Amino acid sequence: MKAVIVPGYGAPEVLKLVSVPKPKLGPDELLVKTKSVPVSAADMFLRAGKPYLGRLFLGLRRPKANIPGTCFSGEVVDLGQEVEGFNLGDRVFGLTGLQFGTYAEYFVVKVPGVVLKMPDDLPYDEASVFCDGHTTSYNFLTQLVNIKKGDQLLINGASGALGTSAIQMAKHYGAHVIAVCSEKNHGLARSLGADEVIDYRKEDFLNSEKQYDIIYDTVGKLKFRAAKKVLKEAGVYLSPVLTFGLFIQMIITSVFGKRKAKFEATGMNKPPRLKEFLIAVLELYKMGVLKTHIDRQYAMEHIVEAHTYVEQGHKRGNVVMKIDDE
């Protein structure tokens, strides 16, 4: 089968499309024929090995798992003898976690694990990104904080995968949303429900008189020292990107002061908890709360181009790699 591998840390050019054996099926696993996977910021970190703290989990010199990718949508083509609740031909989506392996034509996922049957009306491309932007933003806004009606939420990087999800969820929970993105993406942010939009190129929102209950820095480009100036007394700064500076601020603010800095690698949660997140996000989709914006689609042969585009930091919503177009 074809698979994209990352033999060592580096720029997008380290990615190689190669032929590898099809994975062996365990008794408690599904063999899934991959339809679509997201090309996400998390994939950039795995490929580049940055921040370096991540290498403690991923591998010091090179990735332990040389086939990247965690989120997926696909079709069940074989089942282990102990698997219950699934059938051949089922359309499924979910997350492999630290097992990785979804940048391939086939992969295996454990049952029980983070895998659900897809609603009939959910396209493969949209389903594949549920465990990226939607699930991460759900975790940050409802678990790391308890977002509620009337909260002032500033989203930095509001036009990306996490940002577009966060706008919609925050509005559903009654928050007042201020979206920070480039001017060309203001229309997208407003169409998803943002109450206000800020062009980061024209306005220094960290030196304003306005204060916020929550700052969700989806791209990890703000520093907590600067952000806390515009946080309310008990405000919280959230970031899915762990830097050494943020790590130190998390330790300090956990003990001192009312303003907090928080980080979590959502995908590192245990499978039962991640499955709860995915089920909750799926319910929001069924309620009509969540729409998924797909910016670009790439074939496996163009994975270097896909990583290069995502790494530039200007994607609108989600980028996916289509693996099977049947």
pLDDT digits (tens, 9 = 90+) for 164-189: 999 999 999 999 999 999 999 999 99
**pLDDT surpassing 60 at residue 19:** yes
Q: What is the pLDDT of residue 258?
A: 93
Arithmetic mean of pLDDT over the chain: 93
Q: What is the pLDDT of residue 57?
A: 73
Q: What is the pLDDT of residue 326?
A: 52
**Segment 84-95 mean pLDDT:** 97
pLDDT digits (tens, 9 = 90+) for 152-162: 999 999 999 99
Whole-model pTM over 0.75: yes
**pLDDT surpassing 60 at residue 325:** no
**pLDDT surpassing 70 at residue 124:** yes
Tell whether the torsion through CA atoms of 248, 252, 257 and 261 is positive or negative. positive
Could you tell me the pLDDT band of residue 55, with boundaries at 50, 70 and 90? confident
**Segment 58-82 mean pLDDT:** 90
pLDDT digits (tens, 9 = 90+) for 275-286: 999 999 999 999
Could you tell me the pLDDT band of residue 78, with boundaries at 50, 70 and 90? very high
Q: What is the pLDDT of residue 115?
A: 97
**Segment 112-129 mean pLDDT:** 95
Q: What is the pLDDT of residue 233?
A: 94
